[in-house]
Amino acid sequence: MNALMHVGLLPLRQGLACIFFIQIIIERIIAILFRCNQTDMRNIYYGRMKKASKAILIICDSLRRDLIDPSLAPRLSALLAEGCAFTQARGVFPSTTRTSSASIATGCLPARHGLLGNTVVLQEPDGLRCRSVGDPAFRSHLVAATGGTLRMPTLAERMAGHGGAWIMSNVSPGAAYFFDPDGHGEVHHRAGSYGPGRQPLDDSAALTIRSGAAGDTVMTERFCSHLRDGTAPRLSVLWLSEPDHSGHGHPLGSPAHRRGIANADVCVARVLTEVDALRAQGDDVLLAVGSDHGMETVCEHVPVTRWLVEAGLKQSMDSRDVVLAPNGTAFVLGVAPDAQDRIPALVDWLSAQPWCGGVHHGAALSALGLPVGDPCCAIAVDMAHDDRTNDYGVAGFAYVVDDPDEAKNYLGHGQHGGLGRYEQRPFLVFDGGGFAASRASMHAASLIDIAPTLLRHLGLPHDGMDGCALPLDPTT
């Protein structure tokens, strides 16, 4: 009798096993389509995720918040009025795009993530040396000198296995690649596009564009097409080159610069159309739009390295005792261990210069978010600034430090890197994701608060960051 029952149950058991096998296959298909982990797969399969939480971040490089007005940027102006705008948002120091990219990606200050500028001083076997983060070989130099890339996990690393992340960027290669330097997600850039494991993407995924408005437009259309067809990950980042591109090449407020701002506004409007469509189909989308820093007009180039040599504070232009890393309206001095006794004289000399706005060393470096006790960052200098207006009525002038490896002349054009009130004036606004509407908040905010805010919306941990998730209603 028992044997007969056992035989009779065989088809039932086989059927249940078949159903279980089909369930596993369905879960794996969902994982591929939605880039989810196992928990998310089961939630979707059993209908427990009625809405797909997604986050989209748009950065309009160098766009000062005081230059956003309805006549020039109607969609951004409306978004600032309709969303939750943090009107006191600040950047990091140095206020360069590559440092800002790493700070946004990690939610940490430069002292924690380790990327201290567009150019940085590295301790190499033959001594201190300045390296440009924009150099395609920089990553290998950094790994050789420090044993790794960024010292803190990035958004892409935290999103791996949780729906994924990518960035489409039209700024410098260094700024794009150091958003995800170790290949946990996808990075799309004109210098080369890479997927997980830093594997090159095929030609169809390449961004064959140039920096500037035209390239931004093409990139934005590509970005929107992925949002529209459902192939975008849960976290998507669009980093526009405007108005940084036009601001470096033309006077601030000039027709060319204004066209750059207007084009950024059009690109943001295109993404907003897709966001509306995603929300209409039930997706819970948090949209964050902002800039990494502002810009000020260059009043004079200063050959600091040459003058240090002439003052007897550096042995020669290419000596390794004192090494300068130029970062626009700021610079960092590395001082070799056997030249540390020269720091007081360097500080005194720099403090006496009319082009020097602030000299920071020792424990004071921590207030800037820079490391203390690191020979590669012994002194940090913010160049002098003033509130004069240029011919187009745009306020803010600053000195810039000469970069011996870059022949560009920015005189009369825009630059950044320091602590000037206008270069430390990015904008930041959140829309959706539970944020209060039509709020203009004085609540303190920084670039390092963006990552934890996005991760909170996506239901993921954001521990270990310098920044904090911003309040959904900062007025309560």
How far is the CA of 11 from the CAs of 1, 4, 236, in angstroms?
Answer: 17, 13, 48
pLDDT at 312 over 50: yes
Average pLDDT score over the chain: 92
Percentage above 90 pLDDT, the chain: 85
What's residue 329's pLDDT?
Answer: 99
What's residue 204's pLDDT?
Answer: 74
What's residue 155's pLDDT?
Answer: 99
Residue 94 preceded by cis peptide, ω within 30: yes
Q: How confident is the model at residue 146 (pLDDT cuts 50, 70, 90)?
A: very high
User: Residues 363-419: pLDDT tens digits?
Assistant: 999 999 999 999 999 999 999 999 999 999 999 999 999 998 887 899 999 999 999
Q: How confident is the model at residue 205 (pLDDT cuts 50, 70, 90)?
A: confident
Residue 243 preceded by cis peptide, ω within 30: yes
pLDDT at 40 over 70: no
User: Residues 451-471: pLDDT tens digits?
Assistant: 999 999 999 999 999 999 999
Furthest C-alpha separation in the chain: 105
Distance, in Å, from the CA atom of 223 to the CA atom of 225, rounded to the nearest integer, reads 6
Distance, in Å, from the CA atom of 399 to the CA atom of 382, rounded to the nearest integer, reads 9
Element (H, E) at 397: strand 395-401
User: Residues 68-82: pLDDT tens digits?
Assistant: 999 999 999 999 999
What's residue 231's pLDDT?
Answer: 95
What's residue 42's pLDDT?
Answer: 38
pLDDT at 2 over 80: no
Look up residue 408 and give its two tokens.
């560009």
What's residue 49's pLDDT?
Answer: 41
What's residue 203's pLDDT?
Answer: 67
Burial code (b: 16+ CB inside 10 Å, e: under 16) for 369-384 equals bbbeebbbbbbbbbbb
What's residue 206's pLDDT?
Answer: 79
Q: What is the pTM of this model?
A: 0.89
Element (H, E) at 68: none
Q: How confident is the model at residue 14 (pLDDT cuts 50, 70, 90)?
A: low
What's residue 404's pLDDT?
Answer: 82
Kindly state the average pLDDT of the residues 323-329. 99
User: Residues 247-280: pLDDT tens digits?
Assistant: 999 999 999 999 999 999 999 999 999 999 999 9
Q: How confident is the model at residue 43 (pLDDT cuts 50, 70, 90)?
A: very low
Q: How confident is the model at residue 119 (pLDDT cuts 50, 70, 90)?
A: very high
| Bigger pLDDT: 47 vs 89 | 89
User: Residues 295-304: pLDDT tens digits?
Assistant: 999 999 999 9
What's residue 51's pLDDT?
Answer: 67
The closest alpha carbon to 51, from 62, 43, 42, 60, belongs to: 43
Burial code (b: 16+ CB inside 10 Å, e: under 16) for 279-297 equals eeeebbbbbbbbbbbbbbb
What's residue 44's pLDDT?
Answer: 41
Inter-residue contact 102 to 113 (CB < 8 Å): yes
The closest alpha carbon to 456, from 235, 293, 280, belongs to: 235
What's residue 45's pLDDT?
Answer: 36
Q: Which domains does the chain have, with CATH numbers?
A: 53-115+150-294+424-458 (3.40.720.10), 298-415 (3.30.1360)
How far is the CA of 203 from the CAs of 155, 193, 206, 218, 356, in angstroms?
Answer: 26, 9, 5, 15, 47
User: Residues 425-456: pLDDT tens digits?
Assistant: 999 999 999 999 999 999 999 999 999 999 99
Strand segments (E) across 45-175: 53-60, 84-86, 89-90, 119-124, 127-132, 165-169
